[in-house]
Chains A and B, each alone.
Chain A
Amino acid sequence: MENLILCMAHALTSWLVSLGLSPWWADLILLTLQWTTIVMIITFNVLILIWLERKVAGFMQERLGPNRLGPFGLFQTIADTLKLLTKEDIIPARADKWIFMTAPMFFIIVAVLLYAVIPMGKDMAVVDLNVGLFYFISVGSLSTICILMAGWGSNNKWSLLGAMRSVAQMISYEIPLAFSLLGVVMIAGSLNLSAIVAAQHKLWFIILQPIAFVTYFIAATAELNRGPFDMPEAEQELTAGAYTEYTGMRWALFFLAEYTNLVAVSALASTLFLGGWLGPWLPSWIWIIIKTYMVMLIFMWLKWTFPRIRMDHLMSFSWKVLIPISLINIIITGAGIQFLRGMGW
């Protein structure tokens, strides 16, 4: 079980080579397959996630949630997707057409790119980058541009307000997010995600870095545009914020991307703080799925409990609270490492 997926990959490569392909071509085909698999898994996972989110919301609000279509309403999301696919695709007359049309595509591409470096099991990162964490943060921040594109291209004041909020919010929360991860990097001594997981085989970093975990969690919620930080959408004040003018599948793509981001950020949280794929008895890839889903459930719990924070409070919270805390955390971590080294550990 442990190496099930790896064995499949190896078998495929050797089969391709035996067909007379050069190893370079075999690798290329394998990489394409890996990406296709990732995209498939993401799409399928989002279907489950939307169902789960609605079920969690239903549970918290003392109602049933989707329950009509299929067992436990599992097919509800599929039906919704089909409905969205058949909807009319409206492009506002005064919109900046190309920016408007490409924004959701870029958004989903950026979201999928994040998965390249996350180790989904032992030796199971698609690209085992040396600077994996750095890559994750820099690609993750690109999604701001897509929201800005959507807001600007729509030529709608609500959309623009949503987009401007999103930019302000992401820039402010990018910093505590990166700072909170620095502590982990300092202990692990590497930016490579697999190496960071390997460094946790004795002790999860959530125990060594509790403050970093909390700051990461808050900053990540803001990065994800999820409640209580869902400023760009802000349904109750900005109608649907940056997504106001979008219809049908274009609109759905934004949601697909947001849930994809949710999985990626939760997977990163479990990789960096909860020991990633480390765990007894079960195969490594099951462990990371379990941990990722646990983190996602906490995100959902937050979203369905809290009201939305106000924009200026959000900014001052980041600059006056989160950033100082994460800086102090870095100092403490550095001092702790130095102290322990001095003790001869």
Chain B
Amino acid sequence: MFETDQYTINIGPQHPSTHGGLHVEALMDGETVVDAIVHLGYVHRSVEKIAESRTYTQFIPYASRLDYLASHLPTLGYVQAVEKLTGVEVPERTEYIRVILAELSRIASHEVFVGSLAIDLGATTGLIYCLRDRERIMDMFEMSSGQRLITSYMRIGGISYDLPDEFFPAVKSFLDNIPRMIDEYTGLISGNEILQARCQGIGILTAETALAYGVTGPNLRASGIAYDIRKVDPYGVYSRFDFEVPIGERGDCMERLIVRIKEIEQSGRIIRQALEQMPAGEVKDKVPKVLKPEKGKEVYHRIESSKGELGFYLLSDGTEKPSRVHVRAPSFVNLMVLPLISRGCKLQDIIANIATLDPVLGESDR
């Protein structure tokens, strides 16, 4: 009779679909996954340790490099944490600019998500369409900060420069384009029957498991829990905007995709409101050159990044350098459910699961 052996295959760290240096050791029985072990640390740069040997301001570019797909978001989280620690005030106009850029980053990150899901499932064209739209956001980032990917635009107590004049028509035309963009994604990617067959009912993450593992962000919302830090614990000026938190029901790959596509729409709404409400004025307050928070003061600040709850824990020892910095990386926490949702599915589903959990390895390995 047939006797089958289980065998392991190493998905990554050099693999087309692991979104960076992710290594999944999969125990397979034929094409079925028996178990999966996630190995991390291939992109470890000891960012937290670096932060301890830099001044508060010097760490901003490093924070940009955490989540390089939405680099405004980790810098925003970091500078807000430092502002909380030192009590630096932020001008009104800056808050709005930060919201606009953060939401643009979120859209860019979600576009990469949709596109990379498409290409991970084999639809090359889907990726190009998403990247084409993301390119317009990158152009806007270039206008504002001179950088496309790693912007390092946020400053403690403000931002580096005010937005240039050509930024506003660009962002308006981008916002007008969002419905057409979403139509296209729905037609080409989420409306495709093959993609639906490969995503529906795959990698189901129940609400209880998601909560138990500490999964946050769109992944948690796809499981049916409307938990969005922008609503639950608003930071900056988020409490002034009217937007919805799209949620799913089953928590499968399809819903994780749909939730993100809907979030692009909501982010567009927020940007529109921010553009309307934005006052004129200065963008940077007077901030002391050397920041020395009082000794022993600690702060934890969290924001809703495109991946989930991005938290910064800072502990001051009274010098210009922090004594301890910890990053609560949503990608890291979210990745931990990968073995759980991959057990019993096919090899191809692991790829879909990785893609829909949307890890950024720079952030999860730090």
Contact = CB atoms under 8 A, between A and B. Distances in A.
A237 B31 contact: no
A305 B121 CA distance: 12
A228 B122 contact: yes
Interface stretch (B51-59, B139-147, B346-354): B346-354
A227 interface: yes
Contacts of B118: 307
A62 B119 contact: no
A307 B349 contact: no
B212 interface: no
Interface stretch (B125-133, B172-180, B220-228, B299-307): B125-133
B121 A307 contact: yes
A296 interface: no
Nearest to B131: A61
Interface string A62-106: 110000000000000000000000000000000000000000000
Interface in A300-338: 304-313
Contacts of B349: 310
A227 B129 contact: no
Contact of B351 (A158, A228, A236, A309): A236
Nearest to B128: A61
A237 B123 contact: no
A239 interface: yes
A17 to B, nearest CB: 55
Contact of B348 (A57, A239, A305, A311): A311
A304 B351 contact: no
Interface stretch (B75-83, B191-199, B243-251, B267-275): B191-199
B9 interface: yes
B192 A306 contact: yes
Given A311-B346, A312-B31, A304 B198 contact: no
Contacts of B216: none
B122 to A, nearest CB: 3
B16 A161 contact: no
Contact of B16 (A165, A236, A312, A313): A236
Contacts of A310: 197-198, 346, 348-349
B129 A61 contact: yes
A309 B128 CA distance: 20
Interface string A212-243: 00000000000000011010001111010000
A237 B351 CA distance: 7
A10 interface: no
Given A57-B124, A158-B9, A307 B346 contact: no
A305 B125 contact: yes
B197 A306 contact: no
B121 A308 contact: yes
Interface of A: 57, 60-63, 157-158, 161, 165, 227-228, 230, 234-237, 239, 304-313
A-B interface, 4 closest residue pairs, ranked by CB to CB distance from nearest? A308-B122, A307-B123, A307-B121, A61-B128
Given A165-B31, A305-B188, 9 more contacts: A61-B128, A62-B128, A236-B122, A237-B17, A237-B350, A307-B118, A308-B123, A311-B31, A312-B346
